[in-house]
Amino acid sequence: MAMNITTQAATSADREDLLRLLGTQLYEHDVFLKPDQLAHAIDGMLADPRRGRILVAHEGTKMVGVAVLAYTWTLEHGGQASWLDELYVEPTYRSRGIGTQLLHAAMSRAKEDGCVAMDLEVEASHARAQALYLREGFTAHTRSRFVRVLDDR
């Protein structure tokens, strides 16, 4: 576990830091949401915990990491499941166990909220993230994920 790092549920007071960290994370993955779209998504998650949870990692007062869980009801898992939508640690804070700490907090929170499984995806080029998830007991699917945007962003 990372030293001097606290992990907790995000609140509306964390909004600006969430916009900064998640905006950076999405940009690094070539996901170009408009700022108002990202704010809408964050606000919606914070407003209704049935949608999921946002967990944050702080060193003192500085937010250094974030995990976002989205909840869905699925037949494949026989009930409520969580989707680890984002797990991000600021680059200067990596290799200190913060990602592992956030992942453990996310798995615990999802289980407390009634989820029976956690799904996630990893870019093929992110071997470090893949190693984390494999080490923590996740298994890789052999399927491909597809997406289609349904609005006029």
Which residues of the chain are modeled with pLDDT < 70? 1-3, 153
In a domain, 127, yes or no: no
Gyration radius of the chain over CA positions: 15
Task: Name the pTM for this structure.
Answer: 0.91
In a domain, 106, yes or no: yes
The DSSP secondary-structure symbol of 44 reads H
Q: Do the bridges between strand 62-74 and strand 52-59 make them parallel or antiparallel, or are there none, so unpaired?
A: antiparallel
pLDDT at 2: 47
In a domain, 44, yes or no: yes
| Six-digit token string for 71 | 């909840």
CA–CA separation, 120 and 30 (whole Å):
17
Largest CA distance in the chain: 44
In a domain, 135, yes or no: no
Read off the CATH number of the domain in which 28 is found. 3.40.630.30
CA–CA separation, 152 and 21 (whole Å):
25
In a domain, 143, yes or no: no
**CB of 38 closer than 8 Å to CB of 21:** no
In a domain, 153, yes or no: no
The DSSP secondary-structure symbol of 85 reads E
Q: Could you give phi then psi for residue 23, rounded to 5 degrees? A: -60, -40
- Number of domains, the chain: 1
In a domain, 134, yes or no: no
In a domain, 139, yes or no: no
CA–CA separation, 150 and 138 (whole Å):
30
Q: Could you give phi then psi for residue 66, rounded to 5 degrees? A: -150, 145
| Six-digit token string for 9 | 């549920």
pLDDT at 3: 66
150 alpha-carbon distance from chain centroid: 22
Q: Which helix or strand (DSSP H or E) is residue 110 part of?
A: helix 98-112
pLDDT at 29: 85
User: Domain residues for 57?
Assistant: 5-121
